[in-house]
Each structure stands twice: as structure tokens, then as C-alpha cells.
Structure 1
Amino acid sequence: MNAPSLSARLLAADDRRLWLGMAGCAIAFLVVVPMLNLAMPPDSALHMPNYMVTLLGKYLCYATLALAMDLVWGYCGVLSLGHGAFFALGGYAMGMFMMRSIGARGVYGNADLPDFMVFLNWKELPWYWMGFDHFWFAALMALAVPGALAFVFGWLAFRSRITGVYLSIITQAMTYALMLAFFRNEMGFGGNNGLTDFKDILGFPLAEPSTKLGLYMLSALVLGLAFLVARFVVTSKLGRIMMAVRDAESRVRFLGYSPTWVKLFGFTLSAMLAGLAGALYVPQVGIINPSEFSPANSIEIAIWVAVGGRGTLVGAVLGAFAVNGAKTWLTGAAPELWLFLLGALFIAVTLGLPKGLLGLWGQIRRKEKAHA
């Protein structure tokens, strides 16, 4: 019986490192963080305050969003600058459920209409708000609405063979159009103020630290599951075809495969993951408004992936944490410089680190092995 080839041994070693890394992250996020928050006394240097748990929960949602972007950009070669729209739509779906859950506890005491509709003299609930008094329906819509939009938009774009910068521009135009639409009071989504003043989710008060911790842990679990789904896809035969489309689309078409359907699958799955991230994000921040559709947000998502390492999945997660951690610190230390630093970071990574932080780490390891 032949011994395993060198490439097979290397792949097995990479798999072991990946699973060990995932196990370490699971312990850190699901065991260590809750222990530091609950078990350590507030005056201890090791205590993790409640606001930090919420902040980490936001980062976990951003990491899931970055994973979604990497799936379509890193593996399909489709640079979408409209993924902020899918994230926002998922957030609005969950926000609508929480608005319906307020009932008569709102400012105007109207059990049938959200406060902003009462203020704007709406007489009845719009048809597209029906069903959002059920959690299962809202969760389904958080996946189905972004997925349906991505499917229709992608089918029209990919069948017309729109690629490269032109595709990036029209995805950016899509999210900008949605932002303008959601700003209108007539749309029935709260206009400029959006949806806010949520009370609870499934009966758990959002102001309670235990609810915040539960949402954080759910976000960590969803990130892990999203990573496993994305990895299953990219390591399958379909994933290899996706990478072939990314690298040589015309050759893939010549071999008899349909790049349209391959890219459409990646784009739709990516949008659904982005919607899921948005649905988890909104209960933790307590608001969703049209600013989430801003094209700048979608560009920032691409920066996370580029900084971490495009086409690696792990790099997307790393980039989301690294960039948002830096943003949190810099917006407090030097808020007027943050946007300039973000732009400089993107340029530096594009020119000097085309494979991102994960690629840099790989270069360092190879040099160490060469000198050993």
C-alpha cells in the first residue's frame, strides 16, 4: 500500500491545526468570556464588564458578515460592495419582530401599531408587517429576503456577464438605492430614525446582562456554524469550481460548466449569511436605521476581508476583529483621524500585503523554517 503523498500529509496537518484552532476559539468565546463576566468580582482586574460582552458580540456578528463576503469575493471573485444591504435587511427583519413584541408598552400604548406609525397617523399595519409577531417568521425572513434579493439581482447581473468593477458599482448602487428608499417615512420602516426602543426578545429583557450574554454566546455559535458551512462549500467539488471561476471564468465555461449558476449560488448563500449576522446584531445594539445601508459600510466589509486575507475564511474573521478593534480604540483616541487611517490601511494592505495578515503570518513561518 502506498504511503500518503506529501500534499496529503500537509492537508492533514492543516486540518489538525484548523480543528485545534476552532476548539481553542470555542473555549475562549464560550467558556472563558462568560466566566470572566460572571465569576470574577467587578473590582477584579480579570472581570469582563457587560459593555465588553456586548462589544464582543458585535464583533462576532461582523466576523460572520466578513465570512459571507469572503465566500463570494475570495472564492468566487465577485467583489460585492452591497453586502451592507443584506446585513441591514436581516437586521430590519429582526427589528420588526421586536417592534411587534412591544405591543401596548409603547409610548402611545397602541397594541397594533408601532409608535412611529401612530406618530405618522398610520391607520392600520401594512401588509408586509404581517407575520412579524412570530419569531420563526422573522428569522425566516432574515434569511429569505436577503437571499431572494441576491438571487434576483445576481441572476440578472451574472447572466449578462457583468464582472469586475462594473459589478462592484451596480452592487453599490443597489445598496444606495435601498438606503434612500428606507429613509422615506412612506416606506413604513421608521424613516430616518429606523426601528428602536426594543423591550425584549422572546420574553427576555434586552437590558438584562444575562440576555446580553446569551445573545453574545448565540453569536459565537452562529459564527462557528457559518464557518463550518462555508468551509464545507469551499472544500467540496463546487468550491473547486468556484475557485476556477474566480481564476479563469472563460476556461470554466469552455469546459461545460455554467459560471452564472456557480456565482449565483455563492452570492445567494453569502447574502443569507449576511442577513443572519444582521439579525443577531440588532438585538445587541438596540437599533436599526437606514444608515446601515450606507455604501461606506459595504466598502468597510471588503477592507476587513482584505486586511485579514482574502480567500482563506480564517483571515476574514481575523480581519473583522482586527479592524473593528482598531476602530473602537482609534475612534476614542483620535476620532478625526480614523477614516484617514482606514483608507491608508487598505492601500497599505493592497500594495504591501496582498494576502493580508494571514499571508504575512505564513511568510514569517516559512522564513523561520528555512533558517531552521
Structure 2
Amino acid sequence: MCCFLLFVLTACSNEGQANVGKASFEHDGNTIRIGILLSTTGSTAVVERSMLNAAYLAFDEINKAGGIDGKRIEYIQEDYCSDPTIAAAKIQDLIVNENVVATVGCCTSASRKATLPVLKKYNSLLVYPTFTEGEETDPNVIYTGAMPNQQAVEYIPWLMKKCGKKVFLIGNDYVFPVICNKQAKRIIEMNNGTVLGEKYVSIGYSDFTDILETIKKVRPDFIYCDLVGDSVISFYKEYKRLGLDPEKCPIAAIATDEMSVQGMGADCAEGHYASMNYFSTLDTPASQEFVKKYEEHSQDGSVITSSAEATYDSCYLLAKAIEKVQNPYDTNSLIKAFSGLEFDAPQGKIKVDETNHCTWLYSRFAIAHNGKFQIVYQSKNAIKPEPWPTILYPDGSHN
């Protein structure tokens, strides 16, 4: 079957609706409409670009292989301009005006949370591929990115053993970094460490000179960083310009990925750490094949990230779930179909947990060298997701 593409570009306004290349809702039953909610503009577009490419790759592969039970996928992309308020408006447009069965996307927790009231109102499904702070399981969301226990709970003690126990925290001022750093402080305390400082900046913030001068004065053993988007690039560039030494005080990030490294340059990333479920340098046949397919399909100079890999996985998991139901517009049945679903992903075999809407994933730590992430630790198996990590909430006090 030839590949079918419906790609809609939209303007950034709450009222703006897709009006290029729209297909009629008078379907003949041979297509399934799926939304892609990812930014091509704004401060997080630098990261979302590869996620969007990965979604296109997955859906095009599925269509080329015959679609879903012989039905072609029509995918409709909305640009929410890295703005949570616009994300809410755009997902409503996808649900109400584009008549999608489900949506894959959102890059930040702020954008995801902004869509929740809309998803509840229309009982629609979002498959969210980005790592998250946890402390949430919404009935209308399937989470295919890392939970804290798959990214941070082992990472921080590992860093403290390797680098030292004095830590400085920095992130953007929204839910993901704030909650992640709340969790980080508890982990640091449990491991007899000390937090020397904690700073938050607006999304897109770029002037880090004063903060880095403060960091130089207090002399932490490492900087725990959950900055996102353009702020990541600015922070690392300023770190390099001011002459800080990663051998003495590396940046240890949970959101800095290959696209960020491409944006800042290899010299700025050199010697710093990252924690992700997947790195494109993973030396397995499945990973190598994924990288090859991505590069051949995209051809835009972008590079694969962990969130891009999770987006690819999300599309395939959604297709598998749709195959299991009689009517994909029956959202309750569609969500139930995700329970226990497995996929041989580029990172390894993953599974949607039967007891929550989260996904069993691998944990990997890496150090940047010559513009690439060299993996220095990886879990032997996929790790059960804990939206509220047991190590932090042993008595179930979140309920």
C-alpha cells in the first residue's frame, strides 16, 4: 500500500484552525485520523523537531506495511508554539474539528497538564512521549516517557558517588523542573548530600551569567539541571564561556539531549552527563536500524533523541491498541487496549504497565564526548514505572 500523508500546518493563535490540506469527515471507513501535537515554533521547538520527525517515520512505516487492519492513517499535525495555553486550544481543534481518534504529543508537562481538562471534557486520549516528573496518572493519558524512578532515583546517587555530595539545582520555572527538584532534594538528603543552591528561570531564559557566577562561588560538586528547550543551550554556552570545568563540576541533566548538543556545539557539551531511556549511540541492531531509518526518512539534519524514540514507540503502541478494538472512537475501550501492550522498541522491549498508564522502560546514563553521548550505565532490563516512586513515597501518602 502506498504511503498516505495528510500534513496540516497551522498558525499560532488560539482561534486558528487547520485549513490547508483538510480531508472531509465523510470518510469511507478506510482511514483512521490521528493527531500529532508538537511545536515547530517557540522555545521547545529545538527538541520537538526530532519528535515530529519520529512520528512521521512511524506512521509512514505503518501505512507502507498496510496500515491498521488495512486502513490508512491520516495524521494531522498542530503546532502549539511551545505555549501550554495554545496546546489546550490545539488539542480541542484536533478532537472537535479534525475528528481524531487520539493524539500523540506534547513535549512539556505544562503543555500536557493544559490539555487535561479538554481531554476529560471530550473523553479523548493523549499518548504523551516525554519524560515526566510523575506524581500524576490521568485516565485520558498514556505515558510512554520516563517516570522519576526510571530516570532520577538511581541517577542522583550514582552522581554523588562519582562527583561528590554538594549539589546545585537549576531548572525552568514550571511544574516539571520544580517537582523534579523537590524529588532530587529528598534523594540528596537521603544520601547525606547537601544542596548549595536552587534557581528557577522562565522558559526561554538565556542570560545565565549571574547564576553561573554564583555557582562558581559556592563550588558544588555537580549541577543538577532540568532546564529545557533553548535555555539548555544558553546555559551550557555560558558555562563554557565563563571557564567552568566539567571535570570539577559537571552539569548532570535530565532534559539535555542530542538536539540540545547539536544546538550548543560539541565543545560546550563535552564532559557533561545526561540520564535518558535511550541514546542514539546505543550499540544494538534495533537501535542502529532505527537511526538509519530516521536519517533516511528525515533528511533535515536533525538528530534522534530519547523523546523522539519514545514518540516513535508511542505511534506503534497506539496502532497496536487501535488494532485490538472494534471502534477506535470508543476511547474507554481504546485506553483499556493499552494494558500490557508490548513493543520491540529501539531501546529494547517495552511494555505498558497493567496497573497504571505508564510504560516499562530502560534506564541509561551517558557522558558527552565529541558531540555524542557515550553510555556509561544501563539497566539490565526494562524498569517498572512508578509515577510516585516508592523510595520517595513509601507509605503511599500521595493518595
TM-score, with structure 1 as normaliser = 0.26
Greater relative CO (CA pairs within 8 A, separation 6+)? 1
Give the structure with the larger strand fraction.
2
- Give the greater-gyration-radius structure (CA): 1
